[in-house]
């Protein structure tokens, strides 16, 4: 087994062991400040090359960016709060309001479903409705039909 040599970080100056997969070109350690310095140095090297100096400038790039922005309206706008558009109803609503169906159920669907839940002590029906669990008797009936 070969022993890995330590290398001096160009960012902080501390000794570190480079990742074996990147040993030939890793010059910075894994600290956040050093990774940031590595990225900045990499970008400076890339921009210093003559063919890359006008990469983000020029009329054709302005047109390209304007066309992309036209095809993706609202990309940079921040959406509303994540709580505003909940993907499913709160289970506490169903359990605290057993006579009222949540907005996702139509009135006919909700009436039948919550009438069963309204019966005294029928917590299994409430759990099945809230968690969308198919009762075992329905599974057995479907299996007999096959």
Cα–chain-centroid distance for residue 90? Answer: 21
Burial 1-19 (b: 16+ CB within 10 A, else e): eeeeeebebebeeeebebe
Q: Taking each helix axis from N to C terminus, what angle separates 107-118 and 123-131, rounded to the nearest 10 degrees? A: 150
Give the model's pLDDT for residue 58. 86
Q: 122 burial class (0-12, 13-18, 19+ CB within 10 angstroms)?
A: middle
Q: Which of 5-14, 56-65, 124-133 has the highest mean pLDDT?
A: 5-14
Q: What are the pLDDT digits (tens) for 74-100?
A: 888 877 655 555 555 555 555 566 555
Q: What are the pLDDT digits (tens) for 25-61?
A: 999 999 999 999 999 999 999 999 998 888 888 888 8
Considering the entire predicted model, what is its pTM? 0.43
């Amino acid at each position: 087994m070969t022993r890995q040599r330590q290398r001096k970080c160009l960012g902080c100056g501390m000794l570190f062991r480079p990742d074996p997969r990147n040993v030939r070109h890793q010059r910075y350690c894994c600290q956040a400040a050093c990774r940031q310095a590595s990225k900045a140095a990499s970008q400076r090297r890339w921009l210093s090359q003559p063919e890359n100096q006008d990469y983000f400038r020029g009329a054709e790039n302005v047109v390209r960016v304007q066309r992309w922005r036209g095809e993706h309206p609202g990309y940079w706008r921040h959406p509303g709060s994540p709580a505003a558009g909940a993907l499913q109803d709160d289970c506490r609503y169903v359990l605290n309001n057993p006579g009222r169906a949540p907005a996702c159920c139509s009135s006919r669907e909700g009436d039948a479903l919550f009438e069963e839940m309204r019966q005294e002590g029928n917590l299994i029906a409430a759990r099945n409705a809230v968690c969308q669990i198919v009762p075992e008797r329905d599974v057995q009936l479907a299996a007999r039909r096959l």
